[in-house]
Every structure is written in C-alpha cells, then in structure tokens.
A and B are shown apart, each in its own frame.
Chain A
C-alpha cells in the first residue's frame, strides 16, 4: 500500500474531495437534502465521539444522551437569555459550545471516577440509568420548581448557517479523534479494549486512561449537543435526553465497524439516510423495519461493514497471492 511519510494520496484525495463537496453542498442542495445532510453530520459527530471511548475500549456506554442533552440544554438556556432583550447574548456562540463541552468534561470526570470500576453489562446499565435519571430529574425539576416545561430557543441562524456549524463541529471532532487515536493515549485506550490486564501489565495507567477517555468522549458529545441547540425552536428534557441519542451512536458505530474511524462515518450515513427514506415511504411503520434492520446488523454482521470489507480484502489478497504462486517462474 501507499503508506509512508509525506502526503498519502489514496487517503487525502477522497477526503479533500468529500470536504469540498460538503462545503459546496448548500449551493445546489434543496432545503430538504440540506436538512438530511445536517442530520447525518449530527449523528456522525455523535457516533465518532462515542466510538472514541466505547468503540476502542469496549466499554459500551448507553449514556450518550445524558451528555448530548446537557450540552443541548446548556446552549438552549443560554440562547434563551436573549428573550425579551431582542438581541443575541454577549458571548459568541462557539464559546458557548466550548463551555457546554467543558461542563460535560467535568461532569463525566466525576461520573467516571465512581463508575468505571464496573465492567461489561454493569457499565452498560449504569450509563443507561444515568441518562434516564438526568431526564427524569430535569422533568421533575421543571414541573415542580420552575413550573415551565422546556425552553424556547430563539432563532438566530438560518438553515445554511446551521449546516455549516454542524459541518465545522463534525469535522473538528473527526480531526481531533483521528489525531488522538495515533497518540500514546489513543493506543492505550485501544489496548484496554483488546485486553485490560495486558494493558495494565505493560504500564498503561488503565484507571486514568479510562476516566480521561470517558470524559473526553463526553466533552465531544457536549459540543455536538451545543451545536444542535440552534437547530431546534424548542427543547424539553424528553427531547434532549431521548434514548435514541444513546442507542443510535452505538448501533451506527457497530454497523460501520467498531474499531475503525471509517466505521462510524459509514454507519451514521447509512442509518440516517435509510431511516429518513423509510419514514417518508412507510410512515409510522418504519420503526418496525428499523428495528428489524438493527437486529439483522447485530446478528449477521458482528464486525460491521468495515469488518466485511476487511474480510473481502484479505480474501482477494490471498487469492492474488495464490495466483502469483501458481504462475510459472520466468526463465532468466
């Protein structure tokens, strides 16, 4: 393969092409396709954030909704400050998004310290319970204390601005994760996923790595949630902490292939466009089909699409090598 120092054309060229296409998309896409593209970017950013921790360490988290929701609520509450004044609040929006991520980072650090002793199914249930408690507590707080359900989000951005915000958010997260994966930290996380004991033996500080990884993943989800706030006219706890924000990133990543960076990208693009297409053609029945598809993915494709591609590639390569071996040697 063309792997080595310098610019690798087989990888850089498609990335640049896709990026140019995405940047230019609002020029020729209709409003409908632009909104689907925005959707894909949201799910892509969430899946990559999820993959960064859960995909590489195999600690399956179903608490993404908690962090996404906190980010979304944070940004929504901030934008709500402008109601009555009529103009945008002081802090620029990117700063708000960064703050939303930071809040999540601290939150996840605290959660991680107490929870990451748990493994396997216990960790899954715990993260699931945390997102549910967050939702129920906020609902209860709003109903009992403030007396208002949810927050109205004033509109400051048009569809194109929202699309570009999501594009920047998703590509920044992607870049960050790609860079971090190659670092000592990223490799340590991957090693924990392969075998936690072995990782501890060769000197990976597994406790610290896990907590930091969890917190960084939560921070990225907070960014996505913060950016998503400008897309909604209104948000309440049930919407912000919806279980699909926990389940879909996991399923999309698993569909694409959990250990790879291309996996979440392929998975989120496939499932988002598929569920959009199905919801248009089938109406409310589409959830049945979606559920069936999810089960088929889990049952038939344990390593996702990337796993199948990898399998096919090794098959082709071994076939080519066999053909080469069969071929008679050229006479000198």
Chain B
C-alpha cells in the first residue's frame, strides 16, 4: 500500500514536470508539441554522453543538457513554428498545422539520435541504492528526481506568478492581441516559452536516464502520451491542472503497471478519451 502511495507520487512528480513544459508550450504558443517526448530523449542522451565520455555526474549535467535542448527548442520555434504562426489565418488553423509539424519532428529527432548513438538501450546509473521508507523500498535516485522535479515546477510557478516574463507569458496566453498592444514582444516570449517547455522535458529525460537503463532513441512517444494525458486530464493551459494531473496520471500509471504492464498505455489513452468525452476542458481548465 505504502509503496503505491510513494511510488505513484514519484512517477507523478516527473510526469508533471514534463506536462508543465508541454502545457506552457501549448498555453503560450498554441503549439501542442507532440514531439515533447523526443526532447526528453535528447536530454537523456546528452546526459548519457557526458556521463560515459567525461564521467560527468548526471545531476551536474542537468546544467549542460538543459541549456542545449533549450537552445534547440528556441531554434526550432524561430525557424519552423514562427513561419506557421505567420501563415495561419486563425488560432485553430495554427493549432492543427503546428500539430502536424510536430508529428513530423520525431522522424528527424529519433533517427538522428539513432544514427549517432545506435539503437541499443542506454543508462547512466547513478545513486542506484535502495532506501527503506515506511516499510517500502525505494531507489534514492528516484526520490532525488521526484524532489527536483517538484522544485523545478514550483520555481516555474513562482516565475509565472511574480516575474515580469511570467506575467508576459500569462498575458499572451489569455489575450494574444491585447498583449501585443501593450508592448509585449510576442515573438520573443513565444520562443522563450517553447524553449522552456523543451528544457523541462530535457531535465526530466536527464533524470530518467540515471534511474532507468533501458533508454532508446524510440522512448519518446511513450512519454508524449503520458504528458498528453496529463494536460488533457488537468486542462490545457492550466498550470495547477498539469501539476495535479501529473500526480493523478502517476498513480494511474503506477497502479496499472503493478496490475499488468501490457495495459498501461491502453489505460492512459483511455483516460484521454474518457476525459475528452466527459469534460473536454479538463478538470482545471477554464
């Protein structure tokens, strides 16, 4: 019992970090980045590279993988998605068009990484010791990853709440035209938000690579599916929704993993369908 409570929470913390990034990208830029799992995978591989070649501590290499993927995200936003924003006549058109572009991204990212590192599973095992919490055995690296994920999410919350750039992001999410009128550089904020979304995914990936040793170039879609379920359940564009939704899906995932590992993805996708039919705006959406 206690293992379900804590195990689900650990997964949930990491899931909500990915979902917060995805939600930021969707809320501010109106881009539903279906390739978010591949940014995660790139983060994992950057960490693995520095770990295996230079022996860099995976926790330290968060400071390397984060900025690299952040830059990648900004580059992508400025080259591809900015043009799509220009081309689209309505928000709906922008959303579907950018979604299709995001479906094409995994082809490129997965195969580039696959060409460089090969398809064999990798891992950068670190802090792989078990500790007894209230009668359940847990790996230290999982707990570290969960605590860090929650901290990063909370920092993002504070930034959104109090920093001026956070205010600008919220303004664009609520009223893009109005935000432009009051002098917010909408393209700069778009690029930064997209970059931060990619950054969070990369951080999650870097932490996952020190827990699991079965990371391949093709794990992306699995995490995309989870992040998608989280923001659908929590509500697209709602920060608190993706934070709490992350924990919810974390528990769902953990329980179905315990029951039967084969049905996990089916269960997660079913949650997407059920929530979309019952309450399309999600439980915290406006």
Please report A residues at the B interface, Cβ cutoff 8 Å: 58, 60, 62, 114-115, 117-122, 124-126, 129-130, 132-133, 136-137, 139-140, 143-144, 247, 250-251, 254, 284-285, 287-288, 290-292, 294-295, 298-300, 302
Question: 24 A-B contacts, Cβ less than 8 Å apart?
Answer: A60-B96, A115-B277, A118-B276, A120-B92, A120-B96, A125-B32, A125-B232, A125-B272, A126-B273, A129-B269, A133-B266, A133-B269, A136-B265, A254-B100, A284-B115, A287-B110, A288-B107, A291-B105, A291-B111, A294-B100, A295-B101, A295-B104, A298-B100, A302-B97
Q: Which B-chain residue is minimally distant from A118 (CB atoms)? A: B280
A291 touches B104 (CB 8 A): yes
Secondary structure dominating the interface of A: helix
The answer to whether B189 has its CB under 8 Å from any CB of chain A is no
A121 touches B107 (CB 8 A): no
Q: Which A-chain residue is minimally distant from B97 (CB atoms)? A: A298
B263 touches A119 (CB 8 A): no
Which of B80-88, B146-154, B172-180, B241-249 faces chain A?
A: B80-88
A285 touches B95 (CB 8 A): no
- Per the 8 Å Cβ criterion, residues 244-286 of B in contact with A are 260, 262-263, 265-266, 269-270, 272-273, 276-277, 280
B262 touches A137 (CB 8 A): no
- A143 with B107: in contact, given A121-B32, A129-B269, A299-B83 (CB under 8 Å)? no
Partner of B263, one of A115, A117, A126, A140: A140
Partner of A247, one of B32, B103, B111, B114: B103
Min CB distance B19 to A, Å, is: 14
A133 touches B273 (CB 8 A): yes
In the bound assembly, the distance between CA atoms of A124 and B97 in angstroms comes to 11
Partner of B115, one of A132, A136, A144, A288: A288
The A-B contact count (CB < 8 A) is: 111
Min CB distance A302 to B, Å, is: 5
The answer to whether B215 has its CB under 8 Å from any CB of chain A is no
In the bound assembly, the distance between CA atoms of A138 and B266 in angstroms comes to 10
B101 proximity list for chain A (CB < 8 A): 294-295, 298-299
Q: Which of B83, B111, B112 has the most CB atoms of chain A within a 10 A radius of its CB?
A: B111
B96 touches A132 (CB 8 A): no
Min CB distance B33 to A, Å, is: 12
Partner of A299, one of B80, B106, B111, B114: B80
- A285 with B115: in contact, given A136-B263, A298-B84 (CB under 8 Å)? yes
A291 touches B99 (CB 8 A): no
In the bound assembly, the distance between CA atoms of A234 and B36 in angstroms comes to 33
Min CB distance A195 to B, Å, is: 11
Partner of A251, one of B88, B100, B265, B273: B100
B272 touches A126 (CB 8 A): yes
- Per the 8 Å Cβ criterion, residues 23-47 of B in contact with A are 32
B104 touches A287 (CB 8 A): no
B262 touches A140 (CB 8 A): yes
- A292 with B108: in contact, given A125-B228, A299-B101 (CB under 8 Å)? yes
In the bound assembly, the distance between CA atoms of A285 and B115 in angstroms comes to 8
In the bound assembly, the distance between CA atoms of A178 and B280 in angstroms comes to 35
In the bound assembly, the distance between CA atoms of A136 and B268 in angstroms comes to 10
The answer to whether B72 has its CB under 8 Å from any CB of chain A is no
Partner of A144, one of B107, B262, B276, B280: B262
A288 touches B108 (CB 8 A): yes
Min CB distance B227 to A, Å, is: 12
- A133 with B270: in contact, given A115-B277, A122-B280, A140-B263 (CB under 8 Å)? yes
Q: Which of B84, B103, B114, B277 has the most CB atoms of chain A within a 10 A radius of its CB?
A: B103
The answer to whether B225 has its CB under 8 Å from any CB of chain A is yes
A125 touches B276 (CB 8 A): yes
Q: Quick one: CB contact mask for B111-135 with A, threshold 8 Å, 1 for yes?
A: 1101100000000000000000000
A137 proximity list for chain B (CB < 8 A): 266
Partner of B273, one of A60, A130, A285, A300: A130
In the bound assembly, the distance between CA atoms of A140 and B108 in angstroms comes to 30
Min CB distance A58 to B, Å, is: 8
Min CB distance A230 to B, Å, is: 29
A120 proximity list for chain B (CB < 8 A): 92, 95-96
A129 proximity list for chain B (CB < 8 A): 269-270, 272-273, 276
Min CB distance B172 to A, Å, is: 18
B225 proximity list for chain A (CB < 8 A): 132
Min CB distance B82 to A, Å, is: 10
In the bound assembly, the distance between CA atoms of A298 and B84 in angstroms comes to 8
In the bound assembly, the distance between CA atoms of A288 and B217 in angstroms comes to 13
B273 proximity list for chain A (CB < 8 A): 126, 129-130, 133
In the bound assembly, the distance between CA atoms of A69 and B95 in angstroms comes to 27
A121 proximity list for chain B (CB < 8 A): 32, 92, 95-96, 99
In the bound assembly, the distance between CA atoms of A115 and B277 in angstroms comes to 7
In the bound assembly, the distance between CA atoms of A157 and B13 in angstroms comes to 54
Min CB distance B45 to A, Å, is: 16
A299 proximity list for chain B (CB < 8 A): 80, 83-84, 87, 101
In the bound assembly, the distance between CA atoms of A284 and B217 in angstroms comes to 14
A288 proximity list for chain B (CB < 8 A): 107-108, 111-112, 115
Min CB distance A17 to B, Å, is: 34
Min CB distance B4 to A, Å, is: 22
In the bound assembly, the distance between CA atoms of A126 and B80 in angstroms comes to 25
B84 proximity list for chain A (CB < 8 A): 298-299
Q: Which of A115, A129, A130, A144 has the most CB atoms of chain B within a 10 A radius of its CB?
A: A129
